[in-house]
C-alpha cells in the first residue's frame, strides 16, 4: 500500500504561531528594547529574519537568539536539510548557554525540536526524528502550545516509517482528536489516509476502506488533491486482495488519472503510478513491456541502503505484479528468482526495523513521563506531610476527630492492600499471556521450516499472512481485555493460515445471535491454544478430512462465555499417547490453567475447561471464560 509519509502541512504549522500584525525592518537610529524583541519572539511583530538579527546585534544585552536561529531553520526547510539541523542545534544550544533562561525563550525550543524532527524524518533517520519530537512534546507540559497535534503527527510518521504500525495509529488518533488541527482539509485528508493505511496493514479492510473514502470526500470538497492518487491506488490494492479484477482496473485507472492531474512530483510517487500502469498493461496483453518497467523499479529498490515502509510496500506490490506477469508468460524460473530477491529485501527491511527498536524508544519516553509523575507525587507527598503535622496539633484537642482519622487510616490501608493484590495478579496475568507468544512463535517457525524444506511456492505468502497474524496476536496479548470481535478475527486468521498452508481441514466459527461481539470484552489468547492443539495433535494423525467447529454462547445465569471447540481427530487419549511417544510436552495447557485460576479469583466466577472424548472420534473442549460489557 502507498502512503504519502511526509505530507506534513508545515505552512499551516507555522500559521499556528504567526499572528502577523506588521512587517518591520531594522532602523539603525532606533534603540531596541527587550520588550520590543519579546513582541517579535511572541509573533506579535514579524520582521525579516536578517532584519531581526540586526536588531539583536545592535545591543549585546538583548535576549532572543534562540528565536533567530529557529527562524533560519524554518526558512531553510525543506530544501536545505543540513542547514535546518545546524540552525535548530544553534537555537537549542543558545538557550542552554544563556545566562538568563526565560520561559518565553524556552517555548521557542518546542518549534526548534519539532523542525529538527522534521529534518531527520526527511533523512529517514526515524529514531532521531522521534527523539526530537518527544523533546518538543515534553516542553508542551510546561508551556501552552496550540500545535501539539502536529507533534503527535510527526511521532506517528516516525513509527510508521519503520513499521511500528500500532504506535503510529495511537499517535494519529491522538492528533485526530484536536479540533484546531482537524479544521484544515490538508490535515484531515492526509490523516485519514494514514489511519486507513494502518488499518490496511492490520488486514482490517472494512475500516481501511472507510478511512480512505473519508479522505477522498475531504479532498474532493477542498483544494487539497495530492493524496487522491494514493487513495485510489490503495483501494485498488484492497480490491486486488479481494480478487475483484474489474474494481482493481477501475481504481488503478483513477489513480493514474489523479497522478497526472494532481500527483506529487517525486520519484516514489512516479514509481507507484508506473506500477499501476504495468498492472493495467498486463491485463491488456502488453506483458513484456510491463516486465521491463517493473524490473527497473525492483532493481532500484534493491539498491536502497535505507528502506522505508513505503519502499517495502512498493516492493511487495511490484513483485506480486511481476509474479502475475511471469505466470502469464509461463516463466516459472524467473518467478523463483523473484521470490528469493523479495525474501532478501524483506529480511533487510525487518533487520533495519529491529535495529531501530523504536518501540523501545517509546517505552523509554513513557517511563520518563512516569518518573516525572513520581517526582511530582513525592513533592505533593512532602507538602501533604506538612499539612498533616499541622492537623495533628488540632487532633490532640479533638479526641473524636482522632477516632475518625483512625478509621480513615484503616480504610486507606485496606484499599492499598486490595490495590497491591490486584496489581500482583494483573502482573501474573501479563506474564502468563507473554508466555503464550514464544509457544505460538515456535510452532509457526516449524511450519516455515517445513515449507522451506519442501521448497514450496507457499513460503512467501505464508510468511506475509503470518506476519499480519503475529501483529494482531501480539497486539491482543498486550491487552488485559480485548473485544470478542478482535479475538474472533485472530482465530479466523489463524485457522485460515493453518488450513491453507499447513494442514487441510474445514472449520466454522458460530456465535449465538444474542451476543454483541463488539460490546463483550474478554481475556485474550485463551481459545487459540485449544484450537492449536486440535490441529497439531488431533487432526494431523487422522485419515479423514479434518473438521474444527467453534461455538460461542453465553452461560445461563452466570457472567461466563461458553466456548465449545470440537474436532473429528484421533481423540484426546490417543493424541496424548502420540505426544508422549515423541517425547513432547505441551506447556500451553498449564499456562491456560494458571490463567483461569487467576481470572477466577479476579472476576469471582467459575472459569474452567473440560475435555471430553467423542465416541465417534474426536474431542470436545468446553471452555468457560469471564466477560464484561464495554
Residue 335 lies in a domain: no
Domain with 467 in it: what CATH number? 3.30.565.10
**C-alpha to C-alpha distance for 557 and 544, rounded to whole angstroms:** 39
Domain with 167 in it: what CATH number? 1.25.40.10
Residue 506 lies in a domain: yes
Q: What is the largest CA-CA distance in the chain?
A: 104
DSSP one-letter code for 473: H
DSSP 321-361: HHHHHHHHHT-HHHHHHHHHHHHHHHHHHHHHHHHH-HHHH
pLDDT tens, 139-198?
A: 999 999 889 999 999 999 999 887 788 999 999 999 999 999 999 999 999 999 999 999
Domain-terminating residue out of 149, 183, 217:
183
- Domain range for 514: 422-629
- Looking at the predicted structure, is the pLDDT value of residue 308 above 80? no
pLDDT exceeding 70 applies to what percent of the chain? 78
pLDDT of residue 45: 78
Residue 290 lies in a domain: no
pLDDT tens, 75-92?
A: 999 899 999 999 999 999
Residue 243 lies in a domain: no
Residue 603 lies in a domain: yes
HSE-CB at 128 with a 13 A cutoff on CA atoms is: 11
Domain-terminating residue out of 148, 183, 218:
183
Q: What are phi and psi of 97, to 5 degrees?
A: -95, -5
pLDDT of residue 6: 43
pLDDT tens, 111-122?
A: 999 999 999 999
- Mean pLDDT score of the chain, rounded to an integer? 81
Pick 275 or 415 by higher pLDDT: 275
Residue 254 lies in a domain: no
pLDDT tens, 3-17?
A: 544 444 444 454 444
pLDDT band at 549 (very low <50, low <70, confident <90, very high): very high
Residue 31 lies in a domain: yes
CB atoms within 10 A of CB 198: 25
3-state class percentages of the chain: helix first, strand second, coil last, to nearest 5: 70, 5, 25
Amino acid at each position: 500500500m502507498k502512503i504519502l509519509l511526509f505530507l506534513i502541512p508545515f505552512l499551516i504549522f507555522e500559521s499556528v504561531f504567526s499572528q502577523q500584525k506588521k512587517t518591520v525592518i531594522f532602523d539603525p537610529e532606533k534603540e531596541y528594547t527587550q520588550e520590543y524583541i519579546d513582541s517579535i519572539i511572541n509573533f506579535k511583530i514579524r520582521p525579516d529574519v536578517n532584519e531581526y538579527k540586526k536588531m539583536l546585534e545592535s545591543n549585546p544585552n538583548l535576549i532572543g537568539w534562540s528565536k533567530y536561529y529557529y527562524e533560519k531553520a524554518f526558512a531553510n526547510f525543506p530544501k536545505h536539510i543540513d542547514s535546518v539541523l545546524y540552525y535548530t542545534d544553534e537555537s537549542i544550544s543558545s538557550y542552554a548557554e544563556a545566562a538568563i533562561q526565560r520561559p518565553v525563550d524556552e517555548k521557542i525550543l518546542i518549534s526548534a525540536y519539532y523542525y529538527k524532527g522534521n529534518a531527520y524524518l526527511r533523512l529517514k533517520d526515524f529514531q532521531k526524528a522521534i527523539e526530537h519530537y518527544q523533546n518538543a512534546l515534553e516542553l508542551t507540559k510546561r508551556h501552552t502550545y496550540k500545535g501539539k497535534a502536529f507533534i503527535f503527527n510527526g511521532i506517528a510518521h516516525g513509527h510508521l516509517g519503520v513499521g511500528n504500525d500500532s504506535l503510529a495509529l495511537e499517535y494519529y488518533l491522538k492528533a485526530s482528536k484536536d479540533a484546531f488541527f482537524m479544521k484544515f482539509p490538508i490535515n484531515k485528508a492526509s490523516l485519514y489516509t494514514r489511519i486507513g493505511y494502518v488499518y490496511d496493514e492490520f488486514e482490517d479492510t472494512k475500516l481501511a476502506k472507510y478511512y480512505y473514502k473519508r479522505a477522498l470526500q475531504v479532498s474532493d470538497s477542498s483544494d487539497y488533491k495530492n493524496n487522491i492518487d494514493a487513495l485510489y491506488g490503495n483501494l485498488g490494492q484492497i480490491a486486488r486482495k479481494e480478487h475483484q479484477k474489474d474494481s482493481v482496473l477501475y481504481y488503478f485507472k483513477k489513480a493514474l488519472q489523479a497522478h497526472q492531474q494532481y500527483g506529487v512530483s517525486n520519484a516514489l510517487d512516479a514509481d507507484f503510478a508506473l506500477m499501476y500502469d504495468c498492472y493495467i498493461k498486463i491485463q491488456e496483453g502488453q506483458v513484456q513491456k510491463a516486465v521491463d518497467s517493473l524490473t527497473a523499479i525492483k532493481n532500484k529498490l534493491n539498491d536502497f541502503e535505507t528502506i522505508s515502509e513505503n519502499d517495502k510496500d512498493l516492493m511487495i506490490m511490484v513483485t506480486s505484479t511481476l509474479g502475475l506477469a511471469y505466470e502469464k508468460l509461463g516463466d516459472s524460473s524467473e518467478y523463483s528468482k523473484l521470490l528469493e530477491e523479495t525474501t532478501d529485501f524483506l529480511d533487510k527491511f525487518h533487520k533495519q526495523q529491529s535495529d531501530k527498536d523504536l518501540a523501545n524508544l517509546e517505552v523509554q519516553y513513557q517511563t520518563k513521563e512516569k518518573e516525572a509523575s513520581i517526582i511530582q507525587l513525592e513533592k505533593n507527598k512532602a507538602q501533604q506531610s506538612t499539612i498533616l503535622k499541622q492537623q495533628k496539633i488540632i487532633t490532640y484537642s479533638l479526641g473524636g476527630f482522632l477516632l475518625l482519622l483512625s478509621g480513615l487510616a484503616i480504610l486507606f490501608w485496606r484499599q492499598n492492600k486490595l490495590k497491591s493484590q490486584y496489581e500482583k495478579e494483573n502482573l501474573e496475568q501479563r506474564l502468563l499471556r507473554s508466555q503464550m507468544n514464544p509457544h505460538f512463535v515456535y510452532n509457526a517457525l516449524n511450519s516455515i521450516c517445513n515449507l522451506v524444506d519442501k521448497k514450496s511456492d507457499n513460503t512467501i505468502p505464508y510468511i506475509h499472512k503470518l506476519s499480519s497474524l503475529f501483529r494482531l496476536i501480539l497486539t491482543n496479548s498486550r491487552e488485559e481485555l480485548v473485544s470478542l470481535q478482535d479475538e474472533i478475527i485472530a482465530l479466523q486468521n489463524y485457522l485460515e493460515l493453518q488450513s491453507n498452508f499447513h494442514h487441510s481441514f474445514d472449520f466454522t466459527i458460530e456465535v449465538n445471535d444474542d451476543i454483541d461481539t463488539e460490546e463483550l470484552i474478554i481475556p485474550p489468547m485463551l481459545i487459540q491454544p485449544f484450537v492449536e492443539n486440535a490441529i497439531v495433535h488431533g487432526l494431523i494423525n487422522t485419515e479423514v478430512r479434518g473438521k474444527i467447529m467453534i461455538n460461542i454462547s453465553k452461560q445461563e445465569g452466570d457472567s461466563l462465555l461458553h466456548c465449545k471447540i470440537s474436532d473429528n481427530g484421533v481423540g484426546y487419549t490417543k493424541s496424548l499417547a502420540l505426544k508422549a511417544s515423541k517425547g513432547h510436552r505441551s506447556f500451553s495447557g498449564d499456562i491456560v490453567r494458571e490463567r483461569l485460576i487467576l481470572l477466577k479469583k479476579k472476576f469471582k466466577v467459575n472459569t474452567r475447561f473440560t475435555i471430553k472424548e467423542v465416541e465417534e472420534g474426536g474431542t470436545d473442549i468446553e471452555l468457560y471464560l469471564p466477560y464484561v460489557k464495554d
